[in-house]
């Protein structure tokens, strides 16, 4: 069954609605250069108001290891998402690690995944060296599908209520990750778009539920 991560959360109401609609994970961007940046203590206020069993993911871009570890400990993050040039090897595996990989014209999963340990979850996103993520750019789904045949992937990049069902059908990702596609403005989600996004996935997920076995690493397994 395709999991869903709603990224770029900046408000408690948005987080609660996403969780109510069925989000498996919520993403908080702790990179100050992002228009979706959130202060860790503000994020703590939001995560403290969430229902149980919703995973929380912190997004970082080439930031000091001590800062990443400190934020992860403060919020008891379920996973750390590395969106820069960081090596996952420098982080202990008591928290799940997600590593963003840019899908360019030269993308080859057999090469791109060589240096990534098998317990690191791959997130496929558009290539943008300035904004990193949340660009709204759609990646090449045929390349993403090839990558999904190599190992479980999280599909990101330009997903919207209008295209997510087609994306899932084409790529067969472990999970989808959406930010700008369900926003009214950076860091502010649009309730109607959120509902439409989950509605678009409802039939797809229902069909998958009885067919797909949960990958062993279970990055978005909900925790007590």
Clarify whether 7 is annotated catalytic.
yes
- For residue 216, what are the CA distances in angstroms to 31, 174, 212, 219? 30, 11, 12, 9
CA 205/CA 211 separation, integer angstroms: 10
CA 51/CA 169 separation, integer angstroms: 30
3-state secondary structure of 127: coil
* Selection from 116, 84, 119, 79 nearest residue 100 by Cα: 84
- 3-state SS, 134-170, equals CCCCCCCHHHHHHHHCCCCEEECCCCCCCCHHHHHHH
Contact 92, 68 (CB under 8 A): no
Q: Token pair for residue 3? A: 């999991």
Query: Which of 7, 14, 24, 177 is labelled catalytic?
Result: 7
Alpha-carbon torsion (186, 14, 28, 201), positive or negative: negative
Clarify whether 125 is annotated catalytic.
yes
Query: Which of 14, 24, 125, 177 is labelled catalytic?
Result: 125
Active site residues: 7, 125
């Amino acid at each position: 069954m395709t999991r869903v991560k709603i990224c770029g959360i900046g408000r408690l109401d948005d987080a609660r609605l996403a969780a109510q609609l069925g989000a498996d994970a919520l993403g908080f961007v702790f990179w100050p250069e992002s228009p979706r940046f959130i202060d860790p203590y503000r994020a703590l206020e939001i995560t403290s108001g969430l229902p149980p069993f919703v995973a929380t993911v912190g997004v970082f871009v080439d930031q000091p290891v001590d800062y990443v570890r400190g934020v992860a400990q403060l919020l008891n993050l379920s996973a750390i998402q590395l969106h820069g040039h960081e090596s996952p090897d420098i982080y202990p595996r008591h928290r799940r690690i997600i590593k963003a990989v840019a899908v360019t014209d030269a993308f080859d999963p057999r090469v791109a995944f060589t240096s990534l340990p098998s317990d690191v979850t791959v997130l496929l996103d558009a290539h943008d060296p300035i904004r990193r993520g949340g660009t709204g750019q759609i990646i090449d789904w045929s390349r993403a599908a090839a990558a999904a045949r190599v190992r479980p992937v999280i599909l990101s990049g330009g997903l919207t209520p209008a295209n997510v069902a087609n994306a899932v059908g084409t790529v067969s990702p472990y999970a989808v990750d959406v930010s700008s596609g369900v926003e009214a403005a950076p860091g502010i989600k649009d309730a109607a778009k959120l509902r439409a996004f989950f509605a678009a996935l409802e039939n797809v997920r229902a069909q998958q539920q009885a067919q797909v076995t949960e990958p062993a690493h279970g990055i978005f397994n909900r925790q007590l």
